[in-house]
Structure 1
Amino acid sequence: MTATTTFQIGGDLRVRRLGFGAMHLPAAPEPDRANALAVARRAVELGVTLIDTAYLYGWGANEELLAEALHPYPADLLLTTKVGVARPKGEGVLDGRPETLRAQVDAALGRLRTERIELLQLHRVDPEIPLADQVGALRELRTAGKIARIGLSEVTVAQLAEARTITDIASVQNRYNLLDREHEPVLAACEKARIAFLPWRPVAWGAAGVRAEIAAVAADADATPTQVALAWLLGHSPVICPIPGTASLDHLAENMAADALRLTPDQRDRLDWLREED
């Protein structure tokens, strides 16, 4: 892997920038489970070194699925998970209380069959709890050796700045793609601080495939619209680490070929002006 296809999360943990989001892998009975296990294993075979999951994804079932598929983990694999959402009455609610975060990290360690989570992200900022308390709890977990690096998800520039006064932040996971660039200021802040930016919904749920300009660039590049959308992300900023998800082996192979696609300056110019509302 070259410097253009890798990034050092937290300044020391090198990963392939094009990762895999496990959210769409179902923890269902056979045959769906066998396919989900196969997709996770194939992702690693294709060179993925960054896999994203969360307690919210099946309320721990997604984490258990990944452990079944991949444990013992390859030495170069970063398996990152998220905490901060609970379901006290069956429905998901934000819960950033320090005691909840501590309990969810302990449970995740068990499900993932590991003694330390190399990157632990706060799934959402709970507006009812001071951010300092939420980030402070994660800092304490890092001091205790249960997590190694701390990330945030769906944060503003101000929240990121506040969190960084409390502890080092290694990653930010906000919604972002070719057509939806609401969080461009957050990306800019991450780029300035060399913080990994993990865009979720990196291909706009397939919307890229129906946009005439994107389809035209894909035809010119002998690629698919999804590959064009991912290649655009990779070229847009060196800190972007997309995590496209799928439960299809074919789509997985399509996605993972995107970091070999080099868009020309003209092709990038044709894409840069696009937005969701256009």
Structure 2
Amino acid sequence: MQMNSRLIPGTQEALPVIGCGTWIGFDQRPGTDEYKRLPGVLEALFAAGGKVIDSSPMYGRSEETTGELLAASKQVKTGAAFLATKVWTSGREPGIAQMAQSFTRLRTGRMDLMQVHNLLDWKTHLATLRRWKDKGRVRYIGITHYTASAYGDVEAVLRAEKLDFLQINYSIDAREAEQRLLPLAAERGVAVIVNMPFGGGGLLRRLRDKPLPPWAGEIGCTSWAQVLLKFVLGHPAVTCTIPGTSRAEHMADNAAAGAGVLPDAAFWRSHAGAIGLP
């Protein structure tokens, strides 16, 4: 079954709803057992119809690893990946140098999405990114964060700036983004990438030995990971979510959540109790 896609509001380009995050999992060196597993992760992503790969210069070797794997893969056609990364430094010139390094590491001449990581020196970097977008060096620009304590600042930037993407944390046990940020992104025509869809992993670990509820099969879920991902995708403002993994079998399982029915908020209001949440 083919993965669902959603439209990027600013361009109406379709984006598959499940991607792959590279934090920790892709910070691996060639020759290690962990590195040897990673080609299978990308193959599983593309086989399921996914394409978004998200990284950052703060993720150790993850950008470089991603670039190497894409270049070496015989399964990946040019343009199959939607490459997203970030700038995470202060100052105009350091920002330009860091972003140029990301292009080199990811082996691309044009970045699909460049984001200001955790709002660090966002005014400076957005000015650079707007120029680069005008010149065609980047296709989309955005901002990111991962903690509710920063939501006030994120909201202020969303209201003040014209952005293509917001990347934010959202999960069934961390729903603060529902209150203001997700509705505001929809209002402003900003696509949303969700990071930490498993709530940082703790929730998934707690659920691992708990039987799936009977209704999980009715929405096409065969694992708790799929249930949690379908919850995230149940919000209409969410464009894509990027669970991180370094194992092909987990990537395939995650990607399966993007196919079939994606229940809406009303469904989750009546079924969240089965997960032990209010």
Tell me the TM-score normalised to structure 1 length: 0.81
Q: Counterpart in 2 of 1:147?
A: 138
CA contact (8 A) 2:192 2:237 kept: no
Matched, 1:98 2:96: no
Superposed, 1:71-220 pairs within 5 Å as 71=71, 74-84=78-88, 95-126=89-120, 129=121, 131-154=122-145, 156=151, 159-162=154-157, 165-166=160-161, 168-184=162-178, 185-204=180-199, 205-208=201-204, 210=206, 218-220=213-215
Q: Counterpart in 1 of 2:244?
A: 245
Counterpart amino acid of residue 101 in structure 2: A
Q: Distance in 2 between matches of 1:17 and 1:148?
A: 19
Q: Distance in 1 between matches of 2:85 and 2:49?
A: 19
Counterpart amino acid of residue 188 in structure 1: P
Q: Distance in 2 between matches of 1:208 and 1:230?
A: 11
Task: Give the match's secondary structure for 1:156.
Answer: helix
Q: Counterpart in 1 of 2:6?
A: 6
CA contact (8 A) 1:20 1:43 kept: yes
Question: What's the CA shift for 1:243?
Answer: 0.7
Q: Distance in 1 between matches of 2:274 and 2:101?
A: 42
* 1:151-208: CA deviation from partner (whole Å, max 9, x where unpaired): 1001636545546645x31111111111101222111111122311111110121514
CA contact (8 A) 2:233 2:262 kept: no
Q: Counterpart in 2 of 1:51?
A: 53
Q: Answer 1 or 2: higher relative contact order, Cα 8 Å, separation at least 6.
A: 2
Unaligned runs of 5+ in 1: 85-94
Counterpart amino acid of residue 83 in structure 2: L
Q: Distance in 1 between matches of 2:250 and 2:165?
A: 26
Give aligned-pair identity as a percent. 25
Q: Distance in 2 between matches of 1:276 and 1:179?
A: 10
Unaligned runs of 5+ in 2: none
Counterpart amino acid of residue 68 in structure 2: E
Q: Distance in 1 between matches of 2:163 and 2:42?
A: 27
Q: Distance in 2 between matches of 1:252 and 1:172?
A: 23
Q: Counterpart in 2 of 1:269?
A: 269
Q: Distance in 2 between matches of 1:51 and 1:161?
A: 27
Task: Give the match's secondary structure for 2:46.
Answer: helix
Structure 1 residues 10 and 100, CA, compared in 2 at 3 Å: closer, same or farther? farther
Q: Counterpart in 1 of 2:230?
A: 231
Question: What's the CA shift for 1:47?
Answer: 1.4
Counterpart amino acid of residue 110 in structure 1: T
CA contact (8 A) 1:218 1:225 kept: no
Q: Counterpart in 2 of 1:66?
A: 66
- Cα RMSD, aligned residues only: 3.1
Structure 1 residues 13 and 261, CA, compared in 2 at 3 Å: closer, same or farther? closer
Q: Counterpart in 2 of 1:89?
A: none
Question: What's the CA shift for 1:50?
Answer: 1.1
CA contact (8 A) 2:20 2:242 kept: yes
Q: Compare 69-78 and 179-188 and name the one that shifted more.
A: 69-78
Task: Give the match's secondary structure for 1:103.
Answer: helix
* 1:95-123: CA deviation from partner (whole Å, max 9, x where unpaired): 23121211111111111111111110111
